[in-house]
Amino acid sequence: MEERFFLYNDLIDSKTRFVSFMGEQSRFDLAITTTDRFYGKKLVLDMQSNRFAIIGPDDLDEEGYLEHAFQISENEATELRNFLFEVV
């Protein structure tokens, strides 16, 4: 059997915040992970849609980023963006 070739295989400490909130458009169930990876950005997982993105303040300012990453409408993205500005 061949030896497995890992590009990386690290065990790290992380902190995850689980948060659920209801906006006017839809409900969001998120897991937001903070780690020393991703250059200070957060790993944001939408547990309803099984989508995730690595997000920092600069990404929240990028037009269409949340809509594309989470496949949500512009109105839903506005609600999500407003919340993420508080935690990212």
| Residue 1 falls inside a structural domain | no
Query: What residue has token string 């903070």?
Result: 34
Range of the domain at 35: 15-87
| Residue 5 falls inside a structural domain | no
pLDDT score of 1 more than 80: no
Q: What is the pLDDT of residues 15-74, one digit of tens each?
A: 999 999 999 989 999 999 999 999 999 999 999 999 999 999 999 999 999 999 999 999
What whole-number distance in Å separates Cα of residue 3 and Cα of residue 35? Answer: 29
| Residue 70 falls inside a structural domain | yes
pLDDT score of 2 more than 90: no
What is the pLDDT at residue 25? 87
| Residue 10 falls inside a structural domain | no
The DSSP call for residue 44 is E
Task: Report the number of distinct structural domains present in the chain.
Answer: 1
